[in-house]
Chain A
Amino acid sequence: MKAGEIVDRIKQHLASPWRETTYRDTFKSGGPDTDVTGIATTCFVTMDVVQRASAAGLNMIVPHEDTFWNDRDDTAVVSGDPLYQIKTDLLKKHNIVIFRMHDHMHSERPDWTYVGSARAIGLDSKYETAPNSHRFVIPETTLGALAASVKKNSGATSLRVVGNPESKVSRIQLGVGYATPPVAGAEIDVVISGEQQETDGMFDSPEYVLDAATLGIPKGWIMLGHTVSEEAGMLEMARWIKGFVPEIPVELVKGGEPFWPPR
């Protein structure tokens, strides 16, 4: 089966039309003519994921994120680096074809990155206030207890939390990846997301949460890390593709959290 046939089926099965202007959702290695033996979905195409996918007989990788360490996968940024050659050699050796699914994943409803993240951190869908609102109202708890539960459920060793652990919280706004909503909203106690710049943004939540804590206003900010936040939803992506590509295996191959915490 050709990679181009699989991409055609992906485009046909999306609810909204394909946007040809996307620079993200394109082939990053191989192309439409590459023969595919199986498909791996993942968050980042790490070299580790390439080896494990290949060992499992999967030579098409559908990642959510970039392959060559910059969002546009602009090879001009990295082609002078020896690791670029090593990685492209590894991809060639295993006859890997990569087709990224980012923009079109986020524009689907539901957006599986949210579905997967909620599942990974143990946020029950029965608490979501409206479908696709990503807003959850849970029984009142403390920020400390919530963070401990998120850490335990997700297994994320290096998540980071801002706010007073004693703060009573119940209203959670879930973000994914770098799409982190501002924590300032009056109807939000805690934002849980993947990644966000610490300062110099459009709304710097860490400083806001610190100041809120000084004033005794209960706010919290839990950053899971990009992969922990968005990789779980690639299970839904694998199942969805399997639904219209029944001929070959389709599996989630996890890259996992890149970090470890200090002693």
Chain B
Amino acid sequence: MPSLSRRQFAAALAASAAAAPFLTTGRAEAATVAAGEVIDRIKKNIGVEWKPDSVDGIKAGDASTGIAGIVTTSMATLAVLQQAVKAGANLVVTAQPTFYARTEAPAQRSPGLDPVLAAKQQFVANNKLVIFRLSDHWRQRRPDPLVQGFASTLGWARYQSASEANQFQVPDSTLDALADTLKRRLALRGGMRIVGNKALAVRRVGFLPGTTPVQASLRLLPSVDAIVAGEVREWESVEYVRDKAFSGEKKGLILLGRVVSEEPGMSACADWLKTFITEVPVRHIPAGDPYWRPAS
């Protein structure tokens, strides 16, 4: 195996199912690109001006690290990092923070005193992982890759509006049935919550990934029957849609959860990275729905 040529390695990788791990024995040959080079290509290809004052950038590890494989994910939980290592990848591209805060590792928490933070930092160091956050710039790309990924994951590309990419004209459904479809196709557990009449007829659906203020709901709702959002503030969009439905307007709101709403976008990110990173394998590992709900 160590003597596999690049082409053989690629063929072997292609032959392995998406769920199968990378061929770790091919790791030495595959480590032909530094993390910094991958990041430079990301900046070159992203199509929007790279701003230094964003949340994006390296959150752990070193730009000089040789990369054997890349994993994209909505949130780099320890479980995702373990799967990435098992698959032979050591660069993780994530949409969310990794160390529990926008600032990464909240200042008030000393790693020595916090066993969870310490264990995660240790795991990252032991496995020479590089963690790169790609969020602010990713969502500025057009067409919006979070919307494109959502459409692709749901098989909704054919329903997508030509002029408003985050609006979809889906086959006749109800709010209840649409929620059920989304729950199954996005593999959700207990994070989903719905506002509005269950029997509401739904044809026009608008998507607001991530976290959005009431202004976004106010803009979108007139054009659609239901909004599918990641996360909103309950004192804003939730109460707005509750009043809207009570006043007799045929409108609904489905909340997926922030992390899962950005997961299809990170799946699309893996596909995008493959277009300019050909030296090493790239794959998407979903963080999964953080939530569950008691059955009774």
Contacts and interface: CB of A to CB of B under 8 A. Distances in A.
A interacts with B: yes
> Could you say which interface size class chain B belongs to?
35 or more
B290 A202 contact: no
Contacts of A225: 193, 234
Contact of A258 (B101, B106, B239, B296): B239
B238 to A, nearest CB: 5
Contacts of A161: 190, 291-294
B296 A152 contact: yes
A141 B88 CA distance: 39
A261 B293 contact: yes
Interface in B220-257: 231, 233-240, 242-244, 246-247, 249, 255, 257
Interface string B160-175: 0000000000000000
B21 to A, nearest CB: 18
A242 interface: no
B115 interface: yes
A46 B290 contact: no
A214 B191 CA distance: 19
Given A69-B239, A262-B179, A262-B194, A210 B234 contact: no
Q: Which of B176, B238, B257, B295 neighbours the largest number of chain A CB atoms within 10 Å of its CB?
A: B238
Interface residues of A, number: 63
Contacts of A48: 242, 246
Interface string B212-224: 0011001000000
A144 B247 CA distance: 38
Interface in B191-218: 191-195, 198, 211, 214-215, 218
A260 B245 CA distance: 14
A208 B100 contact: yes
Contacts of A210: 77-79, 287, 290
Given A69-B214, A215-B116, A227-B234, A202 B102 contact: yes
B293 A160 contact: yes
B235 A69 contact: yes
Contacts of B182: 262
Given A69-B240, A207-B77, A258 B100 contact: no
B114 interface: yes
Q: Which of B176, B192, B198, B235 neighbours the largest number of chain A CB atoms within 10 Å of its CB?
A: B235
A231 B125 CA distance: 46
17 contacts: A46-B243, A77-B214, A80-B218, A160-B293, A161-B293, A162-B291, A200-B97, A202-B103, A205-B100, A211-B77, A214-B82, A226-B235, A259-B255, A261-B293, A262-B188, A262-B192, A263-B176
